[in-house]
Structure 1
Amino acid sequence: MNRPELDYYAVLDMPRNASKEQITLAYRRMAVRLCPHRDKKYEMDFVPLAQEGRLTHLSPMSETKQWAYINMAFDVLGHDLYRAIYDRYGEAGLFEGVMLPNGYFPPYQYHGDHMKVYEQVFASYSPFANVIDAITNPPSLYATREHGIGVRHKDANTERIIHLSLEEVRTGCVKLMHVWRQEIVDKKESRLEKRKHTLKLIIRPGTTAGTRFCFKEEGDRYPTTIPGDIIFIVADKPHPTFERRNMHDLVYRYDINLAQAYTGFTFFVDTLDKRQLKIVISDVVTPGYQKIMPLEGLPKCQNLDAVKAIKQANKRIEDFGDLIIEFNYLFPKYLTPEMKTLTRNFYKEFRRMEQALEDEEKLHMK
């Protein structure tokens, strides 16, 4: 396409002040007629001018060259920045690059993929996709004595929250959800009745809060509509011992006094799967201290496609989050004068010994 200055507006047969919508419409009109992949079976329905010998304002150029020109023209005029540069500096400025207030605009180069431009506009390889889809996938219709004939539209979806305990999340489970919905109970589709319907939810181990289980078109049945979807949204049920964090970690809080914080201690944690963990703390428990037990949290649930889910249905999950143990300090609510004196003497002696230890360490460093 190396050539002298080309008037892109003339290629699309549009004035220079045409709106972006007008330019897009002009491209669509010409692309439908010139696209080499058009379906000629439907062409007469969409392009009546084809009866005139397929003449366009770009004739007598070959259709191949017309097709190339209109795609390059729209690639420039359909892009706000390219169009602004072209309007001000012409095709030479567009191809050679110009200095703009916010920096240098590099030379424009048409990628040469005409169908790429075409598909961006039509959102399809074929401009007749909507019609072909309507033929191959016709809309659902209703025909009743009471309502006549019409197109069925889908009802609104129904969303419900399902609360899961952390034990259920840990092991996985099956939930049978009972819903009441309107159903048609006669052949004439004139009588409706509320009936109980059971839906089966398979909860995978480690399922996270916010997970949505969608049952397609399981909502109320009416003669003139398509049933809406029923969607169950997972939420965590409050647990007396643990709290979920970062989707797969568990947090356990343990109360300690100052003596334990200084000297260490041992305690036991009952896990969600009925085991007992022995926790030994030998460090000084400073504010913000955490004890992390790796792989003692919740299973890490993975989003699997249908094929992988079937293959891994009975596979043991070995990837888990962590158990994070946090500590709450218990302070005495009241101290007698004697208790305060003992506490002062204790910390005075404690500080003296601490200082002696620091001095000894400095001496060894020298």
Structure 2
Amino acid sequence: MGMDFYGVLQVPRSCTNLDIKKAYRDLALEFNPEKLQKENAQQVFALICEAYDVLSDPSRRAVFDQYGEEGLKRGVPGPDGEFIEPYHYHGDPMRTYKDFFGTTSPYANLLDYLRNPSYECMTKHGRLLCKKQPPITHPLCLTLHEIFFGGVKKMKIHRLVYINDEKTKTEVKEKILTIPIKPGIRAGTKLVFPEEGDQNPNQIPADVIFVTEDRPHECFTRERDNLVTTFEVTLEEALMGTTVTVSTIDHRTIRIPITDVIFPGYEKVVENEGMPVLEDYPKRGSLIIRFNITFPKYLPKACKQLLRKGFQLAKIGGGINQYETVNKLVLADKILRVDLNEQLPP
């Protein structure tokens, strides 16, 4: 008589294509041999996959309905006199399984649940499966001071909540959410408050998510765990050296001597003066000082001649990058220009 593929999938002959897919999904997950681990699981699983392969194809299903399994696998004449080729299952049930689920994992139903969870809700009509509302996202702007020291932020939200025991009526109420801020928390961090959204008889409340953002600071910008600041220096300070004074985030004043020649792109890195490292507190990043060099709009002829002479001496001394000779020459010129009344006695 042949195999009854409808009986294998436990569906009536009047079933729709969606009914066939639902039946195959449940049975394929139940009898997956990797999950079931029984001796006859492989044979049952292969039969389920073959039944789905036949009934999910409209032309194969039509032949099976009229001629049964024997006619399907023997071949039958078509409506236009053409011969319909015999059907042969390819023999790889896991191929059918993967084409359906997109994976060979026997826990595909668990993955589906984790990606799109459903819950049982109690309504006035009884229990039913509810979907969770999409998450509600809010920005959380933090100052560098708050990020440096950490602490607690309190945010007020408005949400619908049940006002009766039957959970059929809701009302808008305020709620204060307490958000812990860890020192060094980075921009883009998501702080999740599960199911703090509107309460709804037919849906699970949404998660409320706060996404951190760095509020602009008047002096510093943040690059991961480092703090970056920029100073304006004159050309004289760039060549001769200077000292920069920095007011830190934690209310200290530090003075940093710059003895190198400041050139375009030069950075002074001060270790352990940046932001706290989130994963390794109380370790801190670095303070990076960048410079904008202000050039004079005018130089007297005497200054140009002096600088030209200094650069010539630098070349003679071993290369155009040796600026120490220039520094000494400019310093000597400053000493010579001191007023006679201000000179120290010999």
Rounded to whole Å, the distance in 2 between the matches of 1:248 and 1:166 is 11
Tell me, in whole angstroms, the C-alpha distance in 2 between the residues paired with 1:208 and 1:202: 13
CA distance in 1, matches of 2:194, 2:228: 36
Distance 1:156 1:138 in 2: 12
Residue 353 in structure 1 maps to residue 276 in structure 2: no
Aligned-partner Cα distance in 2 for 1:74–1:300: 48
- Structure 2: runs of 5+ lacking an equivalent: 1-22, 49-89, 320-346
1:292-330 Cα shifts (integer Å, max 9, x gaps): 10121111112xxxxxxxxxxxxx823221110011123
Out of 182, 186, 197, which is 2:160 matched to? Answer: 182
Report how far residue 331 of structure 1 moved. 4.1
Contact 2:98 2:104 in 1 (8 A): no
Q: For 2:196 and 2:211, locate their aligned partners in 1 and report how far apart those are by CA, in whole Å.
A: 15
Residues 127-142 of structure 1 mapped to structure 2, 5 A cutoff: 139-142=119-122
- Pick from 160, 164, 179 the counterpart of residue 138 of structure 2: 160
1:143 aligns with 2:123: yes
Runs of 5+ unmatched residues, structure 1: 1-24, 51-68, 81-118, 303-315
- Higher mean C-alpha deviation, range 166-175 or range 255-264: 255-264
Which of 202, 226, 243 is matched with 2:180 structurally? 202
Distance 1:255 1:291 in 2: 13
Aligned mates of 1:124, 1:349 — CA distance in 2: 84
Q: Is the 8 A contact 1:261 1:284 kept in 2?
A: yes
Give a deviation string over 1:52-105, Cα, whole Å, max 9, x none.
Answer: xxxxxxxxxxxxxxxxx967x858x9999xxxxxxxxxxxxxxxxxxxxxxxxx
Contact 1:182–1:195 (8 Å) recurs in 2: yes
SS at 1:260 equivalent: helix
Q: Distance in 2 between matches of 1:184 and 1:207?
A: 35
Partners of 1:180 and 1:197 within 8 A in 2: yes
Deviations 1:10-32 (A, max 9, x none): xxxxxxxxxxxxxxx99x98997
Select which of 237, 250, 254 maps to 1:273.
Answer: 250
- 1:242 lines up with 2:194 in the alignment: no
* Partners of 1:183 and 1:225 in 2: CA distance: 13
1:124 aligns with 2:106: yes
Q: Secondary structure at the match of 1:225?
A: coil
Distance 1:37 1:192, change over 3 A: closer
Note the alpha carbon deviations across 1:231-283, whole angstroms, 9 max, x for none.
000000000010001x1111011111122112111121111111111110112
Change (3 A) 1:319 1:36: closer
Larger Rg over CA atoms? 2
CA distance in 1, matches of 2:308, 2:32: 92
Residues 192-220 of structure 1, C-alpha deviations (whole Å, 9 max, x = no match): 11111121111111111000001111111
Q: What's the TM-score once normalised by structure 2's chain length?
A: 0.61
Q: For this pair of structures, how many residues does the alignment match?
A: 247
Taking structure 1 as the reference length, the TM-score comes to: 0.58
CA distance in 2 between counterparts of 1:249 and 1:357 reads 37
The amino acid across from 1:358 in the alignment is K
SS of alignment partner, residue 139 of structure 1: strand
Matches within 5 A, 1:1-366: 35=33, 38=36, 121-124=103-106, 139-144=119-124, 149-245=127-223, 247-302=224-279, 317-331=281-295, 340=298, 342-361=299-318
Residue 224 of structure 1 and its aligned partner are, at CA, apart by 1.6
Which residue identity lines up with residue 301 of structure 2 in the other structure? R
Q: Deviations over 1:113-168 (max 9, x none)?
A: xxxxxx9955226x9x67xx9xxx99312221xx6653222112110001000011
Structure 1's 138 and 169: CA in aligned 2 closer, same or farther, altered over 3 A? Answer: closer
Q: Indicate how the Cα distance of structure 1 residues 329 and 360 shifts in structure 2: closer, same or farther if over 3 A, else same.
A: closer
Q: In structure 1, give the amino acid aligned to 2:122.
A: Y
Distance in structure 1 (CA, Å) of the matches to 2:222 and 2:305: 42
Distance 1:192 1:253 in 2: 54
Among all aligned residue pairs of Structure 1 and Structure 2, give the percentage whose two residues are the same amino acid.
Answer: 29
- SS of match in other structure, 1:228: coil
Distance 2:29 2:165 in 1: 50
Deviating 4+ runs (over 4 angstroms):
28-34, 77-80, 119-122
| 2:68 alignment partner in structure 1 | none
Aligned mates of 1:34, 1:159 — CA distance in 2: 39
Q: CA RMSD in A?
A: 3.9
